[in-house]
Amino acid sequence: MARRKKAESQEFTNPLADNVHIQGAGTVKDEHIVDTLTSNFMPYAMSVILSRAIPEIDGFKPSHRKLLYTMYNMGLLQGKTIKSANIVGRTMQLNPHGDASIYETMIRLSRGNESLLYPYVESKGNFGKAYSKNMMFAASRYTEAKLAPISKELFEDINKNTVDFVDNYDNTMKEPTLLPVTFPSILANVTTGIAAGMASSIASFNLGELCETTVSLIKNPAHEISETLLAPDFVGGGYVIYNREELEKIYSTGRGSVKVRAKYNYDKKYNCIDITEIPPTTTSEAIIDKIVELVKANKVKELNDLRDETDLKGLRITLDLKRGIDPDKLMTKLYKLTPLEDTFSCNFNVLIKGTPKVLGVRDILLEWIDFRLECVRRRTQFTLDKKAERLHLLKGLEKILLDIDKAIKIIRETDAEADVVPNLMIGFGIDKVQAEYVAEIKLRHLNREYILKRTKDIETLIKEIAELEGILASKNKLKKIIVTELNEVAKKYSGERRSQILYEIEEFDATEAVEIPDYPVTLFITKEGYLNKIRTANLRMSGEQKVKEGDEVSRVFECSNKDELLAFTDKAQVYKAKVDDFPDSKASQLGTFVASKLEMEPDEKTIFICIVREYKGYMLFAFENGKVAKVDISAYQTKTNRKKLLKAYSAKVPLAAIEYIEEDCELVLCSTSGRMLLLHTGALNSKTTKDTIGVAVMTQKKNHKLESMHFYKEGEFEKVWRFRTKNLPAAGALPGPADNSAQLTF
């Protein structure tokens, strides 16, 4: 077990010890690390769990509760808004963690920030937006706030002993341990928190569905939750993708995930898509950054432009489409590749009587019902006690009614003030509390009319007390009160769902071939590895192809935009790409650096590029030892979109030349000895193994090697038969003067 190192001397002299008076300072203890963690870290962890990060059954963390209770005490349920700085300052009497954290708490609870489905704070001024990290809130001295109307349901009867109160941090004020909420606020708004070793992430639900579910559960504990609670509902709207199994898992265990999609509209007039609602777990900036990344990677080619048009009217991300693009198919693709479809992970971790528990929706609602039953019981008991106290006083007053003159005579004839109450008790047979009440009545009220008005309430009070006692004695009556209150809350504050439910969705198929526009292009490839793609139709209007100083065009291809490109490198690897992956350019531009575009290794160089429309034909690799490998081009065809293939050819012997042929033809092999051999490729058997070493074709003399290979051109040799051979391998022949001249004119 790990231990702290023990010093040779248990105590040492500290030069600052005279000025620092701390018990045990300067002493090194031999202590188990587990004991240290238990004594130091565990209290901190428990404090974070119980007092900061995890919400309780009323739906609030301590920071939320302290802020809202302060605003309630300031009378902000009615009247105008006041400066946020004023509210923040007053809240510090309960929450001493600094004005910045208090203000940020208020921001999240506000209507303007759009974090909560049912905000508790009405805001005035710039409170930022939850869906944008760039739209920051203004300072507290500029903004104003008050409590929203729904906050009235948080404090209903809070002064009727419905919840417990405790001292604040400096014992100068009282604050509630919970709020007596009249609806299950724990599930009405999104709540997230990260504690030490645990976290909480609670989804929000529509208040109407939530109240209906709670009422049904009160009436029937076996009620099927999913029948009334359809799915989570988020303030940002969007589409919730319905997955019954996953929802049942969340409802029963409190863990699971919900997929949320952005909502969009297609503007046919301007051929653009307007995204107006996004998932709660992302921001507009994150979505835009991801789409830009996909465009740069050539994975999304359907867009002409992308703009963030968010303004005071709300969120709007605009995508300008190219002609002929299906907006629904594009959005299905973007849902798969971007945060336009995101997952809200649920972890319903709630503090129940000081203990963190992960509960399903059913269990949370049952716990809330028990909590609310206790609130209503305590409120009813409080009202009963007040009425019983009032009845007791009025019964004493009723006895005075029998002889008011006697009461006046007793008070008048009593010499000492302290004897007034005892004499009234003796004279009328009432107790001390009743006598005190009678003695405090003003002289002007000692008339029969006043006393009769007060005593008429006795019968009413008796009936009310009996009714209250009946409620306390019956759990069903307490439940009926809760049901009535829930129905009233739903009627007042419930609205339509923000997030629509999608029961059937179209998934993006990554294997589905993307429609690539087909048009003729001309490719210019330079020695240094630049590729410039120009539409053939625009070629006549283009000038001379621009290249870097010292570079030159080595090959020109006329092909289709739908063709594929194979780039072989000096490391026996081949990189594949679509011609469409390269942007259309102009002759006045250098084009695209192939090695960078295909993400080659830093020291890797392109040695050969060919264009393939259909995988028919052969790759021919000529090696310096005179061998030639004939590989079927289909060996480089892949079913998946792999960009890089290893062992593209044999690396055992240095490579002399590469050629791609669509059908068998004649090639000229040239040796450093000066000999040349005319090879008909039909004489070679093709292989499907890419890195085959080939077969011997041209024999080499000592210290000589095969150096090049090119296509035979009719008339290149005067006596062609000299360079042809019936058997392989062959040495070839030395060209004559006429052959050399013919070759020079090639």
Contact between 403 and 441 under an 8 Å Cβ cutoff? The reply is no
Nearest-angstrom CA–CA distance, 646 and 652: 14
Contact between 88 and 142 under an 8 Å Cβ cutoff? The reply is no
Nearest-angstrom CA–CA distance, 676 and 290: 56
Please provide residue 408's backbone torsions phi and psi, each rounded to the nearest 5 degrees: -65, -40
Contact between 304 and 291 under an 8 Å Cβ cutoff? The reply is no
Contact between 67 and 109 under an 8 Å Cβ cutoff? The reply is yes
Whole-Å CA distances, 110 to 36, 67, 408? 42, 12, 61
Number of alpha helices (DSSP H) and beta strands (DSSP E) in the chain: 20, 32
How does DSSP classify residue 730?
A: B
Please provide residue 48's backbone torsions phi and psi, each rounded to the nearest 5 degrees: -65, -40
Strand (E) or helix (H) holding 290: helix 284-296
Q: In sequence order, what are the residues at sequence separation of 6 or more whose Cβ sits closer than 8 angstroms to the Cβ of residue 299?
A: 337
Q: Which of helix, strand or coil describes residue 163?
A: coil
Respond yes or no: is residue 335 known to be catalytic: no
Q: Which residue has the tokens 């506000």?
A: 110
Q: Looking at 69, 103, 118, 142, which residue is catalytic?
A: 142
Q: In sequence order, what are the residues at sequence separation of 6 or more whose Cβ sits closer than 8 angstroms to the Cβ of residue 737?
A: none
**Spatial CA neighbour of 712 closest among 684, 743, 671:** 743
Q: Which residue has the tokens 């910045």?
A: 100
Nearest-angstrom CA–CA distance, 131 and 114: 8
Nearest-angstrom CA–CA distance, 341 and 260: 6
Give the E-state strand segments of 480-519 in sequence order: 500-502
How many residues would you count in the chain?
746
Q: Which residues are catalytic?
A: 142
